[in-house]
Structure 1
């Protein structure tokens, strides 16, 4: 009994200790926490042999990937997912097919595999690691960037592709005539499971959380969230799909629920811990002896694999319209093998398509490519001169927070607005997620706290429940919209004053019923124009009247555009002087800029 109890506590203590030691060191070195977890796993397992048999640990740790996909699903409303369909089913399909065929050709050319084994190896290695890529995107804060969304679309299709690939293994490994029928049955079951999941999410999940929410018991809500995530993942696994796909679908179905922000806050701690465990389990599973015995082959195969995948990804992204920098970042983020490769190669070995030695060799190649992924991603970020390195973190301490005004974001716009409020004697609580800005503002005696305004727990800690007005002064549209949606869902009675990026953003904010919005360049542009008129000899009163006329026309145009669309109110725009007096008469008329290119006008 004592021995069993000792074993029960020894392994978790080793893993937690390894994570606590390795992650801060690797983050401080600029290599990222993922590589730190991998290194800790390698040291604990293959090097020191403190933990053996990583299979069970890896099985549990895969729940981290499941929870990660659920949280991502919560951020993707079905309408947004529909907008990504071209990248998912166009770019994602092209990547799997072209990369799979290219790697299959290379495997055949090596002479080490027959055509069946080469086909499984090629398409298995074409899959990338969802866990690694999304964790790195999260570390860089790039999940909502253009290249981040394109990378996610490719990964999402790869998760879908595991079903036909497993069916392909079944066909290749089954000599009887029932192979085609069993493959079709498997695909039919998978499609039926997806449809059933969508229907259950639409008609069952939201009512379920409404009932549980009325109880007011937070622990019951957490239990229900975990039950939904793990239950949907398990059902998808029974249907032949990946567990991650089931969790993702559950998240998407709850993306428009009023409970999604609370669910995200409840799941986040479990996701972070289990995902760290997943990376450590990958390190634990590395078979150093297999690598040593096939050192030359693996030493050639891993860089060739990563280079080939990166090249195909780069070419496809460029063909799909991505700029050079984004295409290169996608290529350097997704060149590795994926965790679903483990499943595919193990299944192929059981079906007799691959030998056990070949399966172990391919799994070693996948694992080593995973280990090198953080290095390639960091290299890509630095070579492409990404603005800002990994952001420094600070402790979140909200002691003393809570004022009539809660300001989110403290860049130049927020700093000016805050000075007016403070000059009137009002108290303002400010949160910002830039450590340097927080430190600098603190030296000027601003009440500013480090925190991410997109997190519900941070808003609560900063005193949103006591705030009469929330001033959202963030400078990225995507972040602003996320905060507005979060606050509108959780605190519908709070008055929102929001900084808008441009005219289109102003219209979008008005559609969200914010109490006040202003384009960040409107007032400065009007003032600049007035002062320029005065410099040309126009009286101050006349310049003011002209500016107010422009303001009135702009407001009227916004009102019309909100009702009739962006092209409404064009007659209200002053395109040229009433009495043009050009210094040099033009030889031919110059075409005016199209209305759709003047979002700031």
Structure 2
């Protein structure tokens, strides 16, 4: 058993390590890399007698962790502001998709009960693939990304009534056959641990227990997180923090499962409650690596679960139904996006992103078979359609990136010709960084032109009478419409590192007269921006870190003036060394290689630089010591 476990683990990890870097290198994304890896090793796992479906259910815990981390990033007030999108847009999507798929299934001769069950299954989309891809591409904060996330959240909520409704659709003849199979099963049911707290209870008691479980999660997240982490912090053992974080997520998921709720929904709620906790970042850093591993293995199992023998026997039917499902769901999403006035590009992101079936569909298919709702032969085809639709999803995102987004950006740029050119200052991105720059300039009677990709953000700005325009500031025509030819300053404050670097490179090549101020996420991003030709780079946390260092010197007893001079010495030294390392980074073909100029410079100069900085600091401190 130990050897089997190690073989499975080694095979899954090896497949991911090989496939994902190759897929990323060709611009396919990590999700498609994992899926392809699963397809390749599928025969190996099946040949070794591995229960891929059971493994898949286990690795679905990655989805639970992902939603917990998303919840940690969301303030309750943000979630409350999304309530109309979650319940109205999400409810409309689930309702319309269920009815449309049900109608198609009935046209194929299925009974209305089976057709309804199929509609419920296909109404769900893949939270794992969509959320992971949106985050990778920096699209989660766009209007299309926010709408997609709202609908996915409602789908997780909708799983609860679906699980209650499906048993009511049971067919008598299927039930008789199922019970007959159970009679010959050997009677092992007594050995199964049953942790369902609401099984067999009246509806009102189930509702009370469910509400009590939700209240327990909210109260525990609000009042117990701090004391628990303060207690386990005493031994100062890192593994205790990791174990506690995992224990909390597993415990919440278990509680939600015991009362018949979606574990992913429960952990998301817990994450939202803990979003203001002082231990939020500790939880994120502890759980994120496990989330990535579980999600990667889950995607591999999706690829490995494809039954190619059954697919070969029903090739035309399965491919036709899969493409038909994607087309149907995408069409409905586009209609809903139009109703909610999503901009053109975001509407297509919303439609294509949610066009697949979801991982919870695997659970519902098994549930329908166990409750005598859907016959096994039909269920086997449904599993194939779900897996193939998920496999095609990364290709849909590539279609959006390569064809649809550029097209709508060009349309958007033509519409943006009416942008009123202000004081020659353009701010690309109005989040927590660009917003402060905008406020400071306006306070000095300048009139920056703000361009942002979030329609909701710009609606808020316009409500207060501020000049703001929707659009992708990385597109040349939109920059032209914003007056880049006569602009004096461009502030690049967008979140996407790659997009910010490309915009800086474009400005250096085509508009060198414009002074570009670029926000850098970290030191590596500084190097990328420097290599792109940008020379006014602001690390987003650098100045606040220097202020924290100054406060630390003051707390150690140094006067404010001396603390500022000490920080000034460090800052001047850091800027000098940053210039040297940036130039070496640019000249190195592979900066991370051991024999690169950049690596050699760091190795050869680190001790010297450190000694130089310490000597400068000691000179500053001598008068006080004397």
Give yes or no for contact 1:71–1:251 (8 Å, CA) kept in 2: yes
Contact kept? 2:142, 2:346, Cα under 8 Å = no
Task: Tell me which residue corresponds to 2:58.
Answer: 60
Shift of 1:181: 7.8
**Whole-Å separation in 1 of the counterparts to 2:239 and 2:333:** 44
Q: 1:412 is paired with a residue of what secondary structure?
A: strand
Alpha-carbon contact 1:68-1:271 (below 8 Å) kept: yes
Q: Is 1:290–2:394 an aligned residue pair?
A: no
- Relative to 1, partners in 2 of residues 1:376 and 1:122: Cα closer, same or farther, differing over 3 Å? same
Write the mapping of 1:482-501 to structure 2, written as runs, cut at 5 A: none
Q: 1:234 to 1:120 in 2, by over 3 A?
A: same
Task: Give the deviation of 1:49 after TM superposition.
Answer: 4.5
CA contact (8 A) 1:130 1:338 kept: yes
Contact 2:357–2:390 (CA<8 Å) still a contact in 1? yes
In structure 2, relative to structure 1, the CA distance for the partners of 1:435 and 1:87 (3 Å cut) is farther
Structure 2 distance, partners of 1:430, 1:275, is 26
Q: Name 2:417's counterpart in structure 1.
A: none
* 2:144 match: 147
Deviation, structure 1 residue 44? 0.4
Distance 1:122 1:228 in 2: 34
Contact 1:74 1:255 in 2 (8 A): yes
Q: Secondary structure at the match of 1:254?
A: helix
2:516 matches 1:412: yes
Query: 1:172 and 1:329 mapped to 2: Cα distance?
Result: 35
User: Residues 264 and 371 from structure 1, CA distance in 2 versus in 1: closer, same or farther, beyond 3 angstroms?
Assistant: same
The residue number in structure 1 matching 2:290 is 270
1:95 corresponds to which residue? 93
Which of 127, 131, 149 is residue 130 of structure 1 equivalent to?
127
The aligned residue for residue 369 of structure 1 is: 389
1:335 maps to which residue? 355
1:175-220 deviation line (CA, Å, top 9, x unaligned): 79xx998666655543442233223222323332233345533321
Cα distance change, pair 17–219 in 1 and its aligned pair in 2 (3 A): same
Q: Structure 1 465/259 Cα, relative in aligned 2: closer, same or farther at 3 Å?
A: farther
Aligned residue number for residue 502 of structure 2:
none
Q: 1:42 to 1:201 in 2, by over 3 A?
A: same
Note the residue ranges of structure 1 that are not aligned, 5 or more in a row: 394-410, 419-428, 471-493, 496-601
Residue 69 of structure 1: how far off its partner (Å):
0.7
- 2-side partners of 1:439 and 1:5: how far apart? 50
**Contact map agreement 1:41 1:280 (CA 8 A) in 2:** yes
TM-superposed deviation, 1:282: 0.8
Is 1:432–1:438's contact at 8 Å kept on the other side of the alignment?
no
* Structure 1 residue 463 displacement after superposition: 7.4
Residues 448 and 326 (structure 1), Cα distance of their counterparts in 2 relative to 1, 3 Å cut? closer
Which residue of the partner structure matches residue 39 of structure 2? 42
Q: What is the alpha-carbon distance in structure 2 between the residues aligned to residue 313 and residue 206 of structure 1?
A: 42
Q: Which residue of 2 aligns with 1:301?
A: 321
Distance apart, 1:291 and its partner CA: 1.3
Query: Within the alignment, does 1:162 sit opposite 2:159 as a pair?
Result: yes
CA distance in 1, matches of 2:201, 2:2: 49
Task: Identify if the C-alpha distance between structure 1 residues 430 and 278 changes in structure 2 by more than 3 Å, giving closer, same or farther.
Answer: closer
Structure 2: distance between partners of 1:347 and 1:198: 29
Q: Compute the displacement of 1:168 (Å).
A: 0.8
Question: CA offsets per residue over residues 319-375 of structure 1, 9 Å max, x none?
Answer: 112111111101111101011111111111111111111111111100100000000
Contact 1:234 1:243 in 2 (8 A): yes
Per the alignment, do residues 183 and 61 of structure 1 end up closer, same or farther by CA in structure 2, a change over 3 Å counting?
same
Pair 1:120-2:224 in alignment: no
User: Is the aligned partner of 1:344 residue 2:364?
Assistant: yes
Instruction: Say if 2:322 and 2:389, in contact at 8 Å, map to a contact too.
Output: yes
Decide which of 26, 30, 35 is 1:29's aligned counterpart: 26
Equivalent residue, structure 2, for 1:319: 339
**Separation (CA, whole Å) in 2 of partners of 1:293 and 1:334:** 28
CA distance 1:148–1:432, shift in 2 (3 Å) = farther
| SS of corresponding position for 2:276 | coil
Q: Which residue of 2 aligns with 1:421?
A: none
CA offsets, 1:521-578, max 9 Å, x none?
xxxxxxxxxxxxxxxxxxxxxxxxxxxxxxxxxxxxxxxxxxxxxxxxxxxxxxxxxx
Instruction: Give CA deviations for 1:381-415 in whole Å, capped at 9, x if unaligned.
Output: 2212356799769xxxxxxxxxxxxxxxxx93259
Alignment partner of 1:385: what SS? helix
- Structure 2 residue aligned with 1:439: 531
Tell me if structure 2 keeps the 8 A contact 1:170–1:183.
no
Among residues 79, 82, 97, which one is paired with 1:81 in the alignment? 79
User: 1:67 offset after TM fit, Å?
Assistant: 1.0
The match for 1:557 is none
| SS state at 1:240 partner | coil
> Out of 103, 108, 111, which is 1:110 matched to?
108
Match of 1:18 among 12, 15, 18: 15
Number of positions where the alignment pairs a residue of Structure 1 with one of Structure 2:
427
CA RMSD of aligned residues (A): 3.3
CA distance 1:187–1:349, change in 2 (3 Å): farther
SS at 1:168 equivalent: helix
CA gap 1:414/1:140 in 2 versus in 1, 3 angstroms = closer
Inter-CA distance 87–17: structure 2 relative to 1 (3 Å threshold):
same
Give yes or no for the alignment of 1:207 onto 2:227: yes
Structure 2: distance between partners of 1:377 and 1:63: 24
> Is the Cα contact below 8 Å between 1:438 and 1:448 reproduced in 2?
no
Aligned to 2:613: none
Give yes or no for contact 2:171–2:373 (8 Å, CA) kept in 1. no
Q: Is the 8 A contact 2:497 2:525 kept in 1?
A: no
Distance 1:344 1:54 in 2: 17
On the 8 A contact 1:102/1:122 being kept in 2, the answer is yes
Length-normalised TM-score, structure 1:
0.65
The 8 Å contact of residues 15 and 37 in structure 2, kept in 1 or not, is answered as yes
